[in-house]
Amino acid sequence: MKGNTVLRFASLLFLAALIAPAHAELTIEITGAGEHQIPIAVVPFAGDEKLAQSISGVVAADLQRSGLFRLVNPGGKAPHQPNEVVYADWAGTDALAIGTVTAQPNGRVAVEFRLMDVVRQTELLGESLSARASQARAIAHRIADMIFQKMTGTRGVFSTRIAYVNKQGGTFRLVVADSDGYGEQTVLTSPETIMSPAWSPDGSHLAYVSFEKRRAVVFVQSLLTGQRLLLANFEGSNSAPAWAPDGRHLAVVLTRDGSSQIYLVRPDGTDLRRISFSGAIDTEPNFSPDGQFLLFTSDRGGTPQIYRMSADGSGPADRLTFDEGNSFSPCYSPDGKSFVFTRLLNGRFYIAVEDFATQQVQMLTDGGWEKRPTFAPNGKMVLFANEAQGRGILATVSSDGRVKQKMFPQAGDIREPTWGPFLNNNLN
């Protein structure tokens, strides 16, 4: 079977670089604010200014981007140790992040940071972290995650990663980056379209669609070794990979038996079986967090809408979207209680969320060229592709629709973003 062919990294000429860091700077625009913003001050850490990358600056930017914090300007006050904090100076601020950064002779960076509760005048967090100097942003994201969790009760996503496709001229790059868009690493470069990247649940692999064989085929690629597996290479189109939450199967869409239908396949390409039998277009499968259901797009009712079926294909499918317009690209929330999708209405694409219990649909965005939403793994933000100034960009919206961000790349068009899972990665 063709789908079992394992291609080695070394044999692929167009796999330009496994981990090729790009030094693209992003411009980030934030609009809106959370309903109850937490006032917090991030005091520039002592020694931070000696680093190429300010750690406390990244911490502050992370917290601000979440929309849940209001950054209080330290205004020249610069405590770095608990005994230097004069609480009376910080009235109106709930918490204070302070710390010191030390560049060590061995090329590592050590950070000591504390989160102080201004109201109770106590230490909420005290942590020491160290990593290679090149990992300064990772340290900062880790600190921001700790602060976010302490102050909101929800796990932060600043240390998670996103994947997307950057199209520049006739070159497509599959890219993995930090959730703030920095730290781009090129996973695959191709002169043909790359689309529909999908993270494995453990964050170790990406499945994606590539047109490198002059038609759509599905690959699974290890982010650790670069090794690729040609997962689905049947006649016609092979597309829309989605991982089951246990990582043991993927759903893919094939046209080998007629119209686009959903199949399950193991990550090694074996045990392929068809699970949808509509004769219409069934595509964009997405697993529920418990693995029991699939959302998908189908035109079986005449227009493309969102449906839900059991993940083993048994029983009938339920239609979930009914309103005016066409609906595409469903994605479950991490708690399984809602899903985001793209709605095309009167020529504009919107990001919308539907609650399963109430079947209420809320438009999260103002409409435009907005496509392919995915939830952050904590469910608090939605990442999607947008267009601004004639270019493809990354955009996020908080899951309540209040805070919006646009992230402009330095070059190229960004498309097909997808938010990766929580990682239990260690700093090194």
Partner 1 sequence: MKNVALSILMVSLLAACGSQPPKEQPAAQTTPAAEAPAAQPAEPAAPAKVAADPLDDPNSILARRSVFYPLDVSVVQSADRAVVDAHAQYLAAHPGTKVRLEGNCDERGSNEYNLALGQRRADGVKKLLIAGGANASQIESVSNGEEKPKVSCHAEKCWKENRRTDLIYNR
State the residues that interact with partner 1 by CB under 8 A.
Answer: 193, 195-196, 209, 211, 214-216, 236-237, 239-240, 253, 255, 258-260, 281, 283-284, 297, 299, 303-304, 326, 328-329, 342, 344, 347, 369, 371-372, 415-416
**Three-class secondary structure assignment of 267-314:** CCCCCCEECCCCCCCEEEEEECCCCCEEEEEECCCCCCEEEEEECCCC
CB of 383 to partner 1, least distance (A): 15
CB of 372 to partner 1, least distance (A): 7
Cα-Cα-Cα-Cα dihedral sign, residues 147, 151, 152, 153: positive
| Nearer CB in complex with partner 1: 45/332 | 332
In a 10 Å sphere around its CB, with 0-12 CB exposed, 13-18 middle and 19+ buried, how is residue 296 labelled? buried
Q: Output 297-304 pairs: Cβ under 8 A, ≥24 positions apart.
A: 297/327, 297/328, 297/329, 297/330, 304/328
| Contact in structure between 71 and 65 (CB atoms under 8 Å) | no
| Nearer CB in complex with partner 1: 64/166 | 166
Kindly state the helix (H) or strand (E) to which residue 71 belongs, with its residue range: strand 69-71
| Nearer CB in complex with partner 1: 46/195 | 195
| Nearer CB in complex with partner 1: 2/120 | 2
| Nearer CB in complex with partner 1: 220/403 | 220
CB of 279 to partner 1, least distance (A): 11
CB of 368 to partner 1, least distance (A): 10
CA distance 202 to 422: 8
Of 173, 178, 203, residue with least CA distance to 190: 173
CA distance 194 to 173: 7
CB of 388 to partner 1, least distance (A): 13
CB of 344 to partner 1, least distance (A): 6
Distance of CA 71 to the CA centre of its chain: 24
Distance of CA 229 to the CA centre of its chain: 23
| Nearer CB in complex with partner 1: 260/338 | 260
Other beta carbons within 10 angstroms of residue 13's beta carbon come to 6
| Nearer CB in complex with partner 1: 179/342 | 342
| Nearer CB in complex with partner 1: 151/216 | 216
The residues near 106 (Cβ < 8 Å, ≥ 6 apart) are none
CB of 311 to partner 1, least distance (A): 18
Annotate 16-45 with b (16+ C-beta within 10 A) or e (fewer). eebeeebebebebebeeebeebbebbbbbb
| Nearer CB in complex with partner 1: 111/309 | 309
CB of 297 to partner 1, least distance (A): 6
End-to-end CA distance of the chain: 41
| Nearer CB in complex with partner 1: 120/391 | 391
Phi, psi dihedrals of residue 145, rounded to the nearest 5°:
-60, -40
Sort strands 20-21 and 108-117 into parallel, antiparallel or unpaired.
unpaired
CB of 277 to partner 1, least distance (A): 15
CB of 284 to partner 1, least distance (A): 5
Structure tokens at 409: 């790349």
